[in-house]
Structure formats: structure tokens, C-alpha cells
Structure 1
Amino acid sequence: MIQQLSWKVGGQQGEGIESTGEIFSIALNRLGYYLYGYRHFSSRIKGGHTNNKIRVSTKQVRAVADDLDILVAFDQETIDVNYKELHDKGIIIADSKFKPENPEDSKAALYSVAFTEMASDLGTSLMKNMVAVGATCAVLNLDIDLFEEVVEEIFGRKGETVVKKNMEAIKAGYDFMKNELGEQVGSMELEKADGQKRMFMIGNDAIALGALSAGVRLMAAYPITPASEIMEYLIKKLPAVGGTVIQTEDEIAAATMSIGANYGGVRAFTASAGPGLSLMMEAIGLSGMTETPLVVVDTQRGGPSTGLPTKQEQSDLMAMIYGTHGEIPKIVIAPSTVQEAFYDTVEAFNLAEEYQCPVIVLSDLQLSLGKQTVEPLDFSKVEIRRGKLIKDESKLDELDSKTYFKRYEVTDDGVSPRVIPGMKNGIHHVTGVEHDETGKPSEAATNRKSQMDKRMRKLENIPFANPVHTNAPHEQADLLLIGFNSTRGVIEEAMGRLEADGIKVNHAHIRLIHPFPTNELLPLIESAKNVAVVENNATGQLGKIIKMNVGHGNKINNIVKYDGNPFLPHEIHTECKELF
């Protein structure tokens, strides 16, 4: 028996590759296994190679595996592109329709199975993915009955006959592969899981659920990969609580509409990717100048321009901190797991209202679209804090109705009182130009300095819990590994391998990007002989930010990857060993 399995299914986009992985992984999740999935797909509706690599384990996993145990191929391209990931005892299960060929240098065993033919015999070739799932079950010695509940959920609305036919397709694949394997049936049987019930979700769903739990009632956005699933989730869920999703004509409208809703007292937000964030920059500046709460989700992808819209990258870091013209207070949060994506999104709305400034929740494609096992969320941890928002009109009664409300009053903490439009004695100006305490335009030098200082004071004491996730078992480390967003899992695996090599390693994962947690990171850097910053971009943006805020540039080494693929554990392990 084995403790973990790496399984991949591939073919042409649009022929059921995603649903094959979905059905396989949901069933295993319900048995209590931990899973981590990553989809490679093309930036088009149909056609082009796509694959879904799923790691199954009896223990928590948060990274793509280095190698591959089983490759399920619906075309020859899948074999040609992916076979080198297979280890010597790996298995290829391929559709006999395309007459699969095993490359000369492949040591994996090739099994040709009539996916399409068997499915067609049962009524439709569309069920070939079910035949493939059944064939996989034979290798793993899995009881195919456990798939019945999943098939019922997915195809039940199409009728009992469709459910029955899909189960027959799974059985056909299982029986054929069992006969082909002979004594090798169950050759990759997994150790029994703990049977615990856990969620299985992508980061975007966690972000959307976090927004819903935080009291959001409006999302204004324009569809874009890899952020669209946030819209799709909330389109279904928000109406049940009196909210709505509005698809705007562009990202400029999405940001300004969100600002308007927040100004009116409704928690609202928008989500996009790099190109959309570029269009939102002026509006983000408007949020900072008018001190109107605004939450923006940026799901990073390959750039620049259209770039690699369906591939992994972490190159928006500098833009999210410095992209707006002028200087405004801004908070940038970077969750590293699906669980954190939920809790950090809730906190983003609290911080936006408490500090009356834009808050950016920074994700990346791997975190946003990678599906992984999630421990049950604790909704008792969710709280809604609205800061200095005055909701009781009686508190304004003592004000003179002939004078304007000091919406931008200069305060010690930089946060001014805020009212909902229409409140008695709460009238004030709102403008994107510099203004005095009541909001009236003012170009006076003393006023400009006073208002700028007030706004920037907001960043002096942001109460963000655990701004740096640390795993630091050594007081004096040979190496400190640093990352952000989805690289956490792969760094943790590489750390374990380096420790096995006798290298003392600490790990720091940055969760609050701006304002930068210098005090939390500085001791870890000072106590390490070497520092390696792991990030998916070409210029080492996080490394540069660390040098700006912490120093010790002579210690900092960059480990970068920007080919559109996520890091694998062996890549970080290898590059780190070269430092010694």
C-alpha cells in the first residue's frame, strides 16, 4: 500500500477532462483523503491541451507532486507532453481510439482501454471519462460503489437513466482494467484514510464565501480569468440574503460602483486580475483620497498585457503597492491557503471600514483555482467591525445644522468619523481633489500637509494577526526560505528535504505585504546565514521589497520561476542546495 498518489488526466479542452478529475477527487475526498489539485488549461473555450493533476494523500498536502503515478490520456499529446513526469513504475491508461504509443524512453506501463468505444456502446461517447475513472479504480482497488453518490449529485437532474448509464460506464472501465492488470490489481492501493469529513474547494470559492460571511451585499465586476469563479459563486448565493452581483461594462465601472455602494453604507467589493487592476488604479486612488472603504481582490496571472491568462505567476506585487498615482494609505493582504483566503477576506472588509482605505486581497492563479482539502471553517471567528461609522442620528443632534459635518476631521489615529448619506446634520462634500475637514476643495499648503499626514497615519498600526506565518525551529538557521501566496506548500516540502540533508532551515511566509511587517521578519533574517526568496516572477519583486524594508541585501538570494507553471518541491530543493 502507498500513502499518497499522484494522478493526472489530460486531453483536449472541452472533452470532459475537468469533470473526470472532479468526480475522481470528490469521491476520494469523501473517504477522508487529503487532496491537492492543479489544472493546466488553455486560454480558449475549446481545444488545446489541458490536464488536471491531483495529489491524494493520507496527510495534508499543499503542493503539486514532483512525479506521477498514473496518467490517464484521451489523446497522444497528453502522453507526449506529460510522460516524463511518470516514475519507473508509473502507469499510462490511454483511450485505444487514438492508437496510443509509448515513447521510446518511457519506462511506464501503457494500457490501452477503449474509453470511447465502451461509452458509445452504453449510449454516448460523452461517458468515456466515466470509463477512465473506472479503469483507475481497478489500479487503486477502489470500490466503484463509492462513486454512485457523486454521480447522482452531478447527473441526477438529468434523470435516473443517465445516472445508471454513467455507473455502468465506470463498471465497464473497472472490469476491463481489472482483467488487463491480472495480479497487478490494486498495485497502487492507498492506505485507508481517516474518514473525516472535510471541504474540498478552490481559493476563489473561499474568497467568495468570506465576502458573503463578512456581510457583502453587492459585487460589481467584469469577468476575467482567474477571478470569474468569485462572481459565479456569488451570483448564486447573494440573492438569498438580499444582495446581487452586477456585471459591469468594464473594470473601471466595477471599482467606482463598489466605491459608491460603500459610500452609501453597503459592503461591496470587486475582483479581477492584472489587466483589470490596471484599469482600476485611478478608482483605487479615489478610494484613498475620499477615504471610502474598498476591497479589491487581485488574482494574479501571467503578464504583461494579456500575457498568459490561464497560467501561474506572482508579478502584480509592486503594482498593488505602488500602482496608484500619488500617495494613499493602502493595505495589501496575501493569504497562502484556502482557509486563510476565507478568513483574510472577512478581515479585509473590517480593515477597509476601520481604516477607510482600499484593501487589496492578493491571490494567484494556483491558489485561486487549485482545489484542495480544507478543514471545516469556524464561523464563530467571523466578526463584523465597522469602525467609526456613525449609525445613530442622535449622535449628530448636537451639531449645528448650518455647518458641514467634519467628515475628514484631523484625528490622532488618522481615521475620521463617517456617516451614511442622508443622515441629519451629516452633510459634507465628497471630492477627489484635496479638501479640508468638511470636504470642501482646498489647495492651501498647510491643509494639504495636514490631510496627507492624517491619511498616512492610518498605516502606523494595522492590527493584522499573524502578518508572517513562521515555521522556525532553529534559533540560528543555515537558510531562511521566504515566500507568499500559493508557494507555502511547496516551500514546506522543500524545507523537509533540506532538513533531511542536514541543513537547518526556517520558513517565513509573508501574509501582510503592505504595510510591510519589518519587525516580524527582521529577527528571522538576522539569525539566518542565507536567505532565499521563492516567487513566481522574473524580477524577484518580493526580494526587492524585503531589501527596501528590512535590508540585509547581501544575504538575499532569488529563486524565481516565470514559465507559467507552479514550483515543484525538487526545484526549490535543488536551487537551495546550490547555495551551500
Structure 2
Amino acid sequence: MISQLSWKIGGQQGEGVESTDRIFSTALNRLGYYLYGYRHFSSRIKGGHTNNKIRISTHPIRAISDDLDILVAFDQESIDLNAHELRAGGVIVADAKFSPVVPEGVDARLFAVPITAIAEELGTSLMKNMVASGASWALLGLPMEVFNKAVEEEFGRKGQAVVDKNIEAVKRGAEFVLEQAGGPLDEFKLDDADGKQKLFIIGNEAIGLGTIAAGCRLMSAYPITPASEIMEYLIKKLPKFGGTVVQTEDEIAAVTMAIGANYAGVRTMTASAGPGLSLMMEAIGLAGMTETPLVIVDTQRGGPSTGLPTKQEQSDLNAMVYGTHGEIPKVVVAPASIEDCFYDMIEAFNVSEQYQVPVIVMTDLQLSLGKQSCEVLDFDSIQIKRGKLVSDLPATENNELFKRYELTEDGVSPRVIPGEKGGIHHVTGVEHDEVGRPSESAINRKKMMDKRLNKLNSLQFRDAIRVDAPFEEPDLLIIGMGSTGGTIDEARTRLSTDGLTTNHVTVRLIAPFPTEQLTPYLSSAKRVVVLENNATGQLASQIKMHAGFADKIHSLLKYDGNPFLPSEVHKACKELN
């Protein structure tokens, strides 16, 4: 019996790889296993190699595995591109239709199953994904009734006849491979799962759920990979809570609509990727100048320009921190888990309204689109904080205008919803005085700039850094952001067997930078490794600029479109000592 296993399915985009993975993983989730998925897909609707990899475990996991136990292949290309990941004695389940061949040097057992032929016998080649998944499920020796239940849920809306056909496809695939193998493979039998209820969702879905829980009732957005799933999720869910999604003509319209709706008192957000964020920059400055709350999600992908729209990267950090012209207060936060994606959206809306600033939630493709297990979310802990949103204003003499941009001790001015009696004021993108009238006075300009820029001095953000620091003076401090945390922890386990002591910090608040919290861990470490998916070390540069310690900081960078593997982090860190 084993405690974890990796399974991958590969083929041409559009031939059922995604649905096979979805049903397979849904059944595993029902059994109570912890799952971590990664999608490798092309930037096209159909055609081009795609594969989905799932890591299955009896304990929590937050990284893809280095190796592979079972590969399900719909074509020879899937074998050629992925077989090198197979561990010695791994298994390939392949469609006999293309006469599969195991590449030279790969120690794997091949099961050639007539996947397409069985599907066609049942009426359509579209069911080959069910034949393939039934075959691989059977090799694991897992209960077929659980898998069949997942099939029923997937196809139930199409009628019982379709469900029965697909269950028959699963059964035929299972029977064929079990006859070849002589029964389930003992070396791949998983220990029983804990059976606890878990969510199994992608980060974008958690962001959407957090958006609703935060009280957002309008999303204005334009579709873009890898952010579109947020929009798609909210299109289905927001109307149930009295909200709506508006697909705008472009990202400029999306962000300005969000600013307008927030000004009117409706919690509103938008989401995009790097190219869309670029188009939003002028409007983000408008939100900063008018002190209008604004929440934006940037799901990072490979750039620049169109770049690698379906691949992993963390290269928008500088754009988020510095992209707007002029100087405004801005908050940039980086979720590091599925749970963070949920809770950080609630915090983002609260902070945006409390401090009247733009808040950018920075994810990356792996966190946004990688499907993972997460604990059941705590809705009872949610608090909605709207800051200095005032009403029932006292009567004023001589029709005085409301001091919307009043110079206050904490830099945050009172805010009203349009139409509030006594709340009339000017709103403009040019510099202005306390009631919003345009002003070019040098004295006023300095006061207003200081007011805006100082308002975040009192900011308290949940887990600005997340720390695992068992050692007072470790050999290595490894720092990461976004989806890299689980990979770093697995590498640390291997480094400990090499006799190296390590601490781990995940930076979650990118701006304003948590210098005070991070400095003690930088100071105590002998060496510091900063791990990030970009070519220029943007997080490392932030650390050096704000905290120093440039002499002990080493960058570990990967920008080929793929996430880090634990083995890569282990090897690079070991070579530093």
C-alpha cells in the first residue's frame, strides 16, 4: 500500500482530456483523498498537446510531483513528451489504435487498450475518455461504484441512456485492462483516505466564492486567460444573490465601470491578466486620485505581449506596484493557497473601502487554474468592513459642500453614496481641495499628496508574511510567493536529510512591503534564496530595496512557462552550500 500516487492523462486538446481528468479526480475527492492538479494546455480551442496531472495523497499536498506513476495516452505524442516522468516500473495505458511504443530507456509497463474501438462499438468515439479512465481506475483497485456515481453526475443532465452508455464504457475499459494485468496492480494500491469532506476547486473558483461572500454584487470584466473562470463562475452564481456580471467591450471599460459602481456604493470588482492590467493603468490612477475603492484580480501568465497565455509566470509584480503614472497609495496582495484566494478577496474588499484605495489581488496561473483540495471554508468568520461610509449627515449652513477629501489625522476621509442629503461634492481626476474643487495650489497639492500617501501607514493585513521558522540561525531562508509554497516545503524536507537547516517565508503583502516583519528572518539566515517564476528577480529586488541584505540573497528563477518542481528547488539550494 502507498500513501500517494501521480496520474496523468495526455492527448490532443479537445478530445476529452479535461473531462476525463474531471471525472477521475471528482471520484477520488469523494473517497476523501487530497488532490493537487496541474494543467498543461495550448492557447487554442482544439488541437495541440495537452495534459492534466493529478497528485493523489492521504495527507495534504500543495505541489506537483517530480515523477509519475500512471500515464494515460490518447496518442504517441503524449507518450513521447511525458514518459520521461515515469518512475521505474510505472504504467502506460494507451490507445491500441496508434500502436503505442515505449521510448527507449523508459522502464514502464505498457497496456495497449482498444480505447477508441470500444467507444465506437458503444456508438461514438467521444466515449473513449470513459474507456481510458475506467481502465486506469481499475488498475488502482478502487471501488467502481464511486466512479460510476461521478459519471452519473457528469452526464445526468443528458439523460439516463447517455449515463448508461458511459458507465458501460467505463466497465469495458476496466475489464479489458484487468484481464491484461491479471487484476489490480498491488504496487499502486493506495492507503485508505481519511474520508473527510473537502472542497476540490481551482483558485479562480475560490476567488469567485470569496467575491460573493465579501458582498460584491457586480463584476465588470472582459474574458482573458487565465482569469476567465472567475467571470464564468460569477455569471452563474452572482444572480442568485441579486448581483450580475457585465461583459464589457475591453478592459478599460471594465475597470472604469467598476470605479463608477464602487463610487455609487456597490461593491464591484474586475479581473484580468497582464495585458488587461496594462490597459487599466490610467484608470487605476483615477481610483487613487478620487479615493474610490477598487478591487482588481490579476492572474499572471507568461508575457510580454500575448506571450505564453496558458503557461505559468510571476512577472507582473513590478507592473502592479509601479504601473500607474504619478504616485498613489495601493495595496497588492498575493494569495498562496486556495484558502487564501477565498479569504483574501474578503480582506481586499474591506481594505479597499476602509482605506479608499485600489487593491490588486495577485495570483499566478498555477494557483488560479490548478485544481486542489482545500479545507471547508469558514463563512462564520467573515466580517464586512465599509470604513468611513457615512450617512445621516448634519445640516450645513449656506449649502456648504461636503468635505469628501477632508484632511484627517489618519489620511482617510469620510465617504458618501451619491444622493445622500448634505453629501454634494465635486469629483475630478485633477488635483483638488477638500470638497473636490480643482486646485493647482502648491500648498494644497502637498497636503493632498501627503494625505493620500500616508493613509496606509496604519494598514494591518492578515498574514503579511507566512512563516515556518523552526531554526534561529538557519543555513538557508527560502522565500517565495504565490503558488510556490508547497514546492518549497517539499524541497526543505529533502534538504533536511542532507543536513541543512531551513526556514521558509511566503511574502503575501507585496505593497506596502512588509519590511519590518521580514527583516528579522533575513538577518538571522546565513543565506537567502528567493524563488520566483520570472527572469529578473522582481520579488528579490523588492526585498533588497526595502530591507537590504543584498550580499546574502540569491535568486532562483524559472521562466520557461512551467512551475517549479521540488527536485529543482532541492538541487539549486543544495548547490549553494
Shorter-chain TM-score range: over 0.9
- Per-residue Cα deviation, 1:186-208 (whole angstroms, up to 9, x for no partner): 43010110111110000000000
Taking the aligned partners of 1:149 and 1:81, their CA distance within structure 2 comes to 32
2:410 to 404, 413, 428: 413
Per the alignment, residue 556 of structure 1 pairs with 553
For residues 513-542 of structure 1, the C-alpha deviation after alignment (integer angstroms, 9 at most, x for no partner) is: 100111111000100000000000000100
Which residue of 2 is the match for residue 399 of structure 1?
Answer: 396
Further displaced range: 461-470 or 438-447: 461-470
Where does residue 2 of structure 1 map in the other structure? 2
Letter in 2 for 1:476: E
Q: Contact conserved, 1:139 with 1:187, CA < 8 A, in 2?
A: no
Instruction: Report if aligned partners of 1:389, 1:418 keep a CA contact under 8 Å in 2.
Output: yes
Partners of 2:480 and 2:89 in 1: how far apart?
34
Matched, 1:528 2:525: yes
Deviations 1:368-411 (A, max 9, x none): 00000010000011110000001x32xx1232351110000001
Structure 2, unpaired ranges of 5+: none
Please give the alpha-carbon distance, in whole angstroms, between the structure 1 residues aligned to 2:146 and 2:415.
55
3-state DSSP of counterpart to 1:152: helix
| Residue 184 of structure 1, CA deviation | 5.8
CA deviations over 1:226-262 (Å, ceiling 9, x no partner): 0000000000111111111000000000000000000
**Counterpart in 1 of 2:100?**
100
Per-residue deviation, residues 169-193 of structure 1 (Å, max 9, x unmatched): 1111111111111166343010110
Gaps of 5+ in 1: none
SS at match of 1:539: coil
Could you give the per-residue CA deviations for residues 269-288 of structure 1, whole angstroms, max 9, x where no partner exists?
10000000000000000000
Q: Please tell me the residue identity of whatever aligns with 1:570.
A: S
Could you list the per-position Cα deviations for residues 406-430 of structure 1 after superposition, in whole angstroms to 9, with x for gaps in the alignment?
0000011110000001111110000
Q: Secondary structure at the match of 2:216?
A: coil
Judge which range, 320-329 or 143-152, deviates more.
Answer: 143-152
Residue 536 (structure 2) aligns with? 539
From the superposition, tell whether residues 108 and 445 of structure 1 become closer, same or farther in structure 2 (CA, over 3 Å): same
Q: Which runs of structure 2 are paired with 1:430-509 in the superposition (5 Å)? A: 430-509=427-506
Match of 1:359 in 2: 359
Classify the secondary structure of the residue corresponding to 1:482.
strand
Counterpart of 1:485, as a letter, is: G
Amino-acid identity (%): 65
Q: Does 1:568 align with 2:547?
A: no
Assess if the C-alpha contact under 8 Å between 2:139 and 2:183 holds in 1.
Answer: no
The Cα RMSD (Å) is 0.8
1:222 aligns with 2:222: yes
Amino acid in structure 1 at the alignment position of 2:385: R
Contact 1:32/1:193 (8 A) holds in 2:
yes
CA distance in 2, matches of 1:199, 1:462: 31
Residue 510 (1) aligns with residue 507 (2) = yes
Indicate the SS of the match to 1:388.
Answer: coil
Which range is displaced more, 138-147 or 308-317? Answer: 138-147
Do 1:20 and 1:133's aligned partners in 2 also have CA atoms closer than 8 Å? yes
Secondary structure (helix, strand or coil) at the match of 1:407 reads coil
Q: Secondary structure at the match of 1:576?
A: helix
Question: How big is each residue's C-alpha offset from its partner over 1:306-338, in whole Å with a ceiling of 9 and x where there is no partner?
Answer: 000000000000110000000000000101000
Q: TM-score, normalised by structure 2?
A: 0.99
Written as runs of structure 1 = structure 2, the 5 A alignment for 1:113-124 is 113-124=113-124
Distance in 1 (CA, whole Å) between partners of 2:432 and 2:463 is 36
Q: Distance in 1 between matches of 2:463 and 2:224?
A: 31
User: 1:121-160 maps to which residues of 2 (within 5 A)?
Assistant: 121-160=121-160
Cα distance in 2 for partners of 1:400, 1:209 equals 46
Encode CA deviations 1:50-97: one digit per residue, 9 max, x unaligned.
Answer: 000000000101101000000000001100100100011111110011
- The residue that corresponds to 1:210 in the other structure is 210
Change (3 A) 1:345 1:226: same
- Once the two structures are superposed, the pairs formed by residues 252-291 of structure 1 within 5 Å of their partners are 252-291=252-291
Contact 2:217 2:242 in 1 (8 A): yes
| Equivalences for residues 46-65 of structure 1 within 5 A | 46-65=46-65
User: For 1:551 and 1:318, how far apart are their aligned partners in 2?
Assistant: 18
Amino acid at match of 2:493: G
Amino acid at match of 1:519: E
3-state SS of 1:164 partner: helix
In structure 1, C-alpha distance between the alignment counterparts of 2:279 and 2:422, rounded to whole Å: 36
The aligned residue for residue 380 of structure 2 is 380
TM normalised by structure 1 equals: 0.99
Q: Is the 8 A contact 2:141 2:184 kept in 1?
A: no
Write the deviation string for residues 419-465 of structure 1: whole angstroms up to 9, x where unpaired: 00111111000000000000000000000000000001112121112
Relative distance call for 1:243 and 1:183 in structure 2 (3 A) is: closer
CA distance in 1, matches of 2:97, 2:415: 67
Which amino acid in the other structure matches residue 412 of structure 2?
Answer: V
The Cα of 1:138 is off from its aligned counterpart by: 2.2
SS at match of 2:91: strand
Is the CA contact 2:138–2:184 (under 8 Å) kept in the aligned structure 1? no
CA distance in 2, matches of 1:465, 1:352: 14
Name the CA shift for 1:401/1:33 in 2 (closer, same or farther; >3 Å): farther
The 1-side partners of 2:35 and 2:229 are apart by 20
Determine the C-alpha separation between the residues in 2 that align with 1:145 and 1:133: 14
In structure 1, give the amino acid aligned to 2:346: V
Contact 2:140–2:184 (8 Å) recurs in 1: no
Structure 2 Cα separation of the partners of residues 339 and 401 of structure 1: 52
Contact 2:2 2:187 in 1 (8 A): no
- Distance in 1, matches of 2:463 and 2:272, equals 26
Give a deviation string over 1:193-226, Cα, whole Å, max 9, x none. 0111110000000000000000011000000000
Task: Confirm or deny: 8 A CA contact 2:226 2:310 kept in the other structure.
Answer: yes
Amino acid aligned to 1:352? S
- Superposed structure 1 runs of 4+ greater than 6 Å apart: none
> What letter matches 1:264 in structure 2?
A
Partners of 2:313 and 2:398 lie apart in 1 by: 54
Aligned length: 577
SS in 1 for 2:15: coil
Q: Do the aligned residues in 1 keep the contact of 2:214 with 2:384 (CA within 8 Å)?
A: yes
Distance in structure 2 (CA, Å) of the matches to 1:397 and 1:61: 56
Paired letter, 1:277: L
* SS state at 1:419 partner: coil
Contact 1:401 1:425 in 2 (8 A): no
Instruction: Work out the CA distance in 2 between the residues paired with 1:247 and 1:171.
Output: 43
